C-alpha cells in the first residue's frame, strides 16, 4: 500500500519537565520557558503511523518578532537530519515510539531572547509538504551555559543574582547604613510577559522592530533598552521620577517595598508611567526585569554619591556664614546615597579584561546617546580610570571619585573653605550571597583612598576627560571650567592643607544617643585646640532638612557658641534639637544636616564641619505562627506601633511576599494614638516552597515608611 504523509495530531512541549531543567519552573509549569544554549525536549504524536527515518523529512522553523528574517537570525530553519545544517539551531532525534517522536531542540547561545513561535514542515518521500504550528515558547538568557555572554561560573552566585526573588537595598547615610527589604518577585505571575512588553514599548522597537528583535541576543543591548525603559523620560517607561516633596497624585517612593506592584500597575494602565520613583525604586525594578530575562543582576548603594554635571570631577558646595548649605547654582551635588545596578556579562565590544560586573543606572540623571540611560559601564574600567570606554564610564567614575570643594559665600564673594578628596564614594554596598549580611565592594570601584594608585587613576581619568568629549560621556555642551593650577584636583604631591591645620583647631560633632523619630536629638560639638596659643572661637551652628538628592531645605534651628580654648585644651558644647523644632520641617528622607562654621578672632580662615543624621523608626515585627507548608493555611502576625507622641491618622498597613501572597495585602488601620502598639493577624496560603520573605510597610499622615520583614522557609509538605 502507498505510504501516506505523516500527520501531527498533538504536540507535547513537556513544559513542566523542560522548565525544571532550565531553571524556569518558578515562572510556570504549564508554558514552555527555556534558556539558550541548552537543549529542551518535545514530543510529536502522529495521527496515522510511526515516523520512518529516511522516508520522512522533518524540518523545524522558529520565529521571533513581527518580521522574522533568516539573515537577521530572527527566523531559523533546521532539519532533524543527523548532519549540522547552516542554521545554528539544532534538532536531534531522541526516541521513536509507535506513533510518537521525541526530539531535542537547542537554540544557539547567541540567539535573540523573547517570544518564539515553533513550526514544523513534514515531507514524506516525494509527497506534498504539510506545515503545522506546534506552539509558543519563551527564550531567555542562560547564565548556566559557558557559551552564553551572561555565563556565571558559581552556582551560589547564580542562585543569588538570578533566582533569588527578594533582597535588601541599603539606605540611610554612611554612618548609619540600614537595609530596606525588597520583593523583586521576578518569577511572579505575568512578570515575564510584562518584561517582554517593556522591550516592545521601547523607542528602538517602535522605530525599527526588525533590527531591535535581531539585537536582543546581546545583553549589552538589552541592558541599555531596559535601563531607558525603567524611567519615563523619553518613552512610556515604567516609573516617573520625583525628587520634590509633593507626591499627592501618586505613591511616595519611600512607601514601595516591591517591584511586582509597580510593574503590574504599569501594565494594567496601558503602560502609563507609575508615580513615583527615586533611585532605589528604579534600580529595584531594573533588577526584577534583568533577573527575569536571565541576566545576573544585583543592586548597589553608593554612599555620598557624586553628581558632577560639568565633567571636571569637582563638586562645588556653597555655604553661608551661618554654616547652612545653599541651593547649588550649578546643580552639582552629593547625594546622601545613590542606588544603581550591576549586571554580569562579557564585553566583546571592549578590550579584553573589562567583562564581568557592569554598572547600569536607570535613574534619569544625564542623557546617553540622546536617551536617559546610563551604562553598561565596566566596573573594572571605572577602577582603572578608563573613562573613554563605552558606555557612560565617565559619569559612573565621577559618582564614586569626584572631589568636593566647599565655598563660603558672603558679600557677593566666594571664599574657598577646603577641598576634600575622600568624601565621595563610600561604603559601596550590596547584599551578600545567600545571606542577609551587607557586602562592602568599594575596592571593586577604586584603589584605597590616598594611595598612589588611586591618585594616578584619578589623574588619568581627568586627563582623558579634558582631552576629549567622547560620545555617551557627560553633557557635551558644558565645557569644564578651567581650574587654576594651584586648585587642580589632587596633585601627586601631599594633599593641600585643610583650614583646621592652619588654624590648628579641630571641630567635630558627636551624637549622644541614636536619633529616633519622635525624640529630641542630643549631640555635642567637640572643639580641640592643637596649638600652644589661646584660641577664641565663634561658631555658628545650624540644622536643616535635606532631600535625598542633597538639595537643602530652609534651616529650622540655629545657635551661636563662643568657645575659649587654652593651649591643647578640648571642650564640648552641648546641643539639643527638640522634636517640636524639627517635626514639621522633615522631608520623607528623614535627613537632617547639622553644620558648624567656626572662626577665630584673629584669623581669616574658617573651619566648616557637618554631619548628616538620619532619623530612625522602630521596625514592624512579623511573626509566623506555626509551620509554613505549601498549599496549607498560614497565619502571620504583624506588630506595629506609632512612634510619635502625637496621634496619627490615615494609617495603612501593606504586606507582600512572593510565593506567599498572590497580591499585595492592604489593611486600613485608621487612627493610631500616641505611642500606641497594635497587632493584627493575616491568613494566607503559601504557593511556592523554599526560602521566602514577607515585607511590610506602615504609612500615615505623619510618616510614610515604617518597614519590617521576616524570612520564612516554606516546606514542600507531603
- Which class in CATH covers the domain with range 155-446? alpha beta
Mean pLDDT, to the nearest integer, of 532-552? 91
Q: For residues 103 and 39, what is the distance between their CA atoms, to the nearest angstrom?
A: 10
Question: Which pLDDT score, from 0 to 100, does residue 485 have?
Answer: 30
pLDDT in tens, 27-58: 999 999 999 999 999 999 999 899 999 899 99
Closest to 41 in 3D by CA, of 50, 29, 32, 49: 32
Asked if residue 487 has pLDDT above 60, the reply is no
Whole-number average pLDDT of the chain = 91
* Distances 659 to 144, 338, 452, 694 between C-alpha atoms, Å: 24, 29, 50, 9
Q: For residues 711 and 165, what is the distance between their CA atoms, to the nearest angstrom?
A: 12
Q: Which residue has the cell 567637640?
A: 526
Residues 578 and 518: beta-carbon distance below 8 Å? no
Bridge partners of residue 420, in order along the sequence: 404
Bridge partners of residue 636, in order along the sequence: 624, 682
Question: Which pLDDT score, from 0 to 100, does residue 331 have?
Answer: 73
Annotated domain spans of the chain: 8-140, 155-446, 505-614, 621-714
Question: Catalytic residue at 559?
Answer: no
Question: Which pLDDT score, from 0 to 100, does residue 81 have?
Answer: 72
Is 401 labeled as ligand-binding? Answer: yes
Asked if residue 481 has pLDDT above 50, the reply is no
The per-residue DSSP string of 581-638 comes to HHGGG--TT-EEEEEEEEEETT-S-EEEEEEEEE-B-PPPEEEEES--BTTS-EEEEE
Residues 621-714, CATH architecture: Sandwich (2.60)
Q: For residues 517 and 491, what is the distance between their CA atoms, to the nearest angstrom?
A: 43
Mean pLDDT, to the nearest integer, of 380-392? 96
Question: Which pLDDT score, from 0 to 100, does residue 499 have?
Answer: 60
Mean pLDDT, to the nearest integer, of 578-584? 93
Domains 8-140 and 505-614 share a fold: yes
Q: Which of the residues 22, 23, 307, 338 is marked catalytic? A: 338
Asked if residue 126 has pLDDT above 70, the reply is yes
What DSSP state is assigned to residue 448? P
Residues 41 and 21: beta-carbon distance below 8 Å? no
Asked if residue 472 has pLDDT above 60, the reply is no
Q: Which CATH superfamily is domain 505-614 in?
A: Immunoglobulins (2.60.40.10)
Question: Catalytic residue at 279?
Answer: yes
Is 321 labeled as ligand-binding? Answer: no
Q: For residues 280 and 300, what is the distance between their CA atoms, to the nearest angstrom?
A: 9
Q: For residues 166 and 531, what is the distance between their CA atoms, to the nearest angstrom?
A: 54
With bands split at pLDDT 50, 70 and 90, how would you rate the model's confidence at 326? confident
Question: Which pLDDT score, from 0 to 100, does residue 527 have?
Answer: 96
Q: For residues 242 and 328, what is the distance between their CA atoms, to the nearest angstrom?
A: 18
pLDDT in tens, 76-111: 999 987 666 788 999 999 999 999 999 999 999 999
Question: Phi and psi at residue 49, in whole multiples of 5°?
Answer: -170, 180
Asked if residue 467 has pLDDT above 70, the reply is yes
Q: Which of the residues 212, 361, 549, 705 is marked catalytic? A: 361
Q: Reduce the secondary structure of 300-337 to three states and give it as a string.
A: EEEEEEEECCCCCCEEEEEECCCCCECCCCCCCEEEEE
If one compares 577 and 233, the residue with the highest pLDDT of the two is: 577
Is 449 labeled as ligand-binding? Answer: yes
Question: Which pLDDT score, from 0 to 100, does residue 4 have?
Answer: 81
With bands split at pLDDT 50, 70 and 90, how would you rate the model's confidence at 162? very high
Residues 578 and 520: beta-carbon distance below 8 Å? yes
Q: Give the angle subtended at the CA of 693 by the CAs of 702 and 335, to the nearest 5°.
A: 50
Q: Which of the residues 279, 292, 343, 404 is marked catalytic? A: 279
Fold (CATH) for 8-140:
Immunoglobulin-like (2.60.40)
Asked if residue 310 has pLDDT above 80, the reply is no
Is 454 labeled as ligand-binding? Answer: yes
Distance, C-alpha 676 to centroid of its chain: 35
Question: Catalytic residue at 200?
Answer: no
Q: What is the pTM of this model?
A: 0.93
Cell of 665: 495585602
Is the peptide bond between 391 and the residue preceding it cis, with omega within 30 degrees of 0?
Answer: yes
pLDDT in tens, 648-702: 999 999 999 999 999 999 999 999 999 999 999 999 999 999 999 999 999 999 9
Amino acid at each position: 500500500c502507498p505510504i501516506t504523509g505523516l500527520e501531527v495530531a498533538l504536540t507535547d512541549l513537556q513544559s513542566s519537565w523542560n522548565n525544571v531543567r532550565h531553571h524556569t519552573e518558578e515562572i510556570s509549569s504549564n508554558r514552555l520557558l527555556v534558556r539558550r544554549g541548552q537543549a529542551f525536549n518535545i514530543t510529536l504524536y502522529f495521527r496515522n503511523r510511526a515516523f520512518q527515518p529516511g522516508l520522512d523529512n522533518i524540518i523545524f522553523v522558529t520565529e521571533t518578532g513581527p518580521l522574522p528574517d533568516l539573515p537577521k537570525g530572527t527566523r531559523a530553519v533546521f532539519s532533524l537530519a543527523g548532519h549540522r545544517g547552516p542554521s545554528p539551531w539544532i534538532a536531534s532525534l531522541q526516541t521513536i515510539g509507535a506513533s510518537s517522536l521525541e526530539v531535542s531542540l537547542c537554540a544557539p547561545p547567541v540567539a535573540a531572547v523573547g517570544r518564539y513561535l515553533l513550526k514544523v514542515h513534514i515531507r514524506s518521500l516525494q509527497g506534498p509538504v504539510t506545515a503545522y504550528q506546534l506552539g509558543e515558547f519563551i527564550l531567555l538568557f542562560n547564565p548556566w551555559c559557558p557559551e552564553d555572554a551572561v555565563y556565571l561560573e558559581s552556582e551560589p552566585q547564580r542562585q543569588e543574582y538570578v533566582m533569588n526573588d527578594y533582597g535588601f537595598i541599603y539606605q540611610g547615610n554612611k554612618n548609619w547604613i540600614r537595609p530596606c527589604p525588597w520583593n523583586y518577585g521576578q518569577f511572579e505571575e505575568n512578570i515575564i510577559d510584562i518584561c517582554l512588553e517593556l522591550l516592545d514599548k521601547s523607542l528602538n522597537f517602535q522605530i525599527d522592530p526588525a533590527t531591535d528583535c535581531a539585537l536582543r541576543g546581546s545583553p549589552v543591548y538589552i541592558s541599555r533598552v531596559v535601563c531607558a525603559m525603567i524611567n519615563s523620560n523619553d518613552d512610556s517607561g515604567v516609573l516617573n521620577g520625583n525628587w520634590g516633596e509633593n507626591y499627592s497624585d501618586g505613591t511616595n517612593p519611600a512607601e514601595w517595598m516591591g517591584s511586582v506592584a509597580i510593574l503590574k500597575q504599569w501594565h494594567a494602565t496601558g503602560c502609563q508611567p507609575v508615580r513615583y520613583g527615586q533611585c532605589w525604586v528604579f534600580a529595584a525594578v531594573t533588577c526584577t526585569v534583568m533577573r527575569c530575562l536571565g541576566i545576573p543582576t544585583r543592586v548597589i548603594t553608593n554612599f555620598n554619591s557624586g553628581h558632577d554635571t560639568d565633567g571636571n570631577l569637582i563638586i562645588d558646595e556653597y555655604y553661608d556664614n551661618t554654616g547652612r548649605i545653599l541651593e547649588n547654582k550649578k546643580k552639582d551635588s552629593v547625594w546622601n546615597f545613590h542606588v544603581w545596578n550591576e549586571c554580569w556579562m562579557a564585553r566583546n565590544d571592549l578590550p579584553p579584561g573589562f567583562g564581568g560586573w557592569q554598572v547600569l543606572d536607570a535613574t534619569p540623571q544625564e542623557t546617553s546617546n540622546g536617551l536617559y540611560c546610563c551604562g553598561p559601564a565596566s566596573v573594572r574600567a571605572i577602577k582603572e580610570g578608563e573613562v573613554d570606554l563605552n558606555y557612560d564610564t565617565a559619569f559612573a567614575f565621577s559618582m564614586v571619585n569626584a572631589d568636593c570643594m566647599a565655598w563660603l559665600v558672603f558679600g557677593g564673594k566666594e571664599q574657598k573653605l577646603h577641598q576634600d578628596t575622600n568624601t565621595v564614594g563610600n561604603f559601596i554596598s550590596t547584599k551578600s550571597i545567600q545571606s542577609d549580611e551587607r557586602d562592602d565592594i568599594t575596592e571593586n570601584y577604586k584603589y584605597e583612598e590616598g594611595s598612589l594608585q588611586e591618585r594616578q587613576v584619578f589623574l588619568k581619568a581627568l586627563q582623558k576627560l579634558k582631552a576629549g568629549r567622547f560620545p555617551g560621556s557627560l553633557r557635551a555642551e558644558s565645557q569644564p571650567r578651567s581650574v587654576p593650577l594651584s586648585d587642580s584636583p589632587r596633585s601627586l604631591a601631599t594633599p593641600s592643607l585643610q583650614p583646621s591645620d592652619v588654624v590648628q583647631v579641630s571641630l567635630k560633632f558627636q551624637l549622644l544617643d541614636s536619633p529616633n523619630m519622635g525624640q529630641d536629638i542630643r549631640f555635642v560639638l567637640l572643639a580641640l585646640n592643637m596649638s600652644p596659643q589661646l584660641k577664641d572661637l565663634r561658631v555658628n551652628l545650624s540644622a536643616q532638612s535635606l532631600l535625598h538628592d542633597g538639595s537643602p531645605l530652609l534651616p529650622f534651628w540655629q545657635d551661636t557658641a563662643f568657645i575659649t580654648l587654652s593651649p591643647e585644651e578640648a571642650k564640648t558644647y552641648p546641643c539639643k534639637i527638640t522634636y517640636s523644632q524639627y517635626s514639621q520641617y522633615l522631608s520623607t528622607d528623614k535627613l537632617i544636616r547639622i553644620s558648624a562654621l567656626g572662626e577665630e578672632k584673629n584669623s581669616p580662615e574658617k573651619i566648616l564641619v557637618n554631619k548628616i543624621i538620619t532619623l530612625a523608626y522602630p521596625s514592624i515585627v512579623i511573626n509566623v505562627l506555626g509551620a509554613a507548608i505549601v498549599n496549607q493555611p498560614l497565619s502571620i502576625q504583624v506588630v506595629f506601633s506609632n512612634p510619635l507622641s502625637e496621634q496619627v491618622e490615615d494609617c495603612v498597613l501593606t504586606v507582600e511576599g512572593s510565593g506567599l501572597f498572590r497580591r499585595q495585602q492592604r489593611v486600613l488601620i485608621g487612627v493610631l494614638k500616641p505611642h500606641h502598639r497594635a497587632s493584627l493577624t493575616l491568613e494566607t496560603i503559601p504557593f511556592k516552597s523554599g526560602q521566602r520573605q514577607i515585607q511590610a510597610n506602615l504609612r500615615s499622615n505623619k510618616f510614610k515608611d515604617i518597614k519590617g520583614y521576616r524570612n520564612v522557609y516554606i516546606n514542600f509538605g507531603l
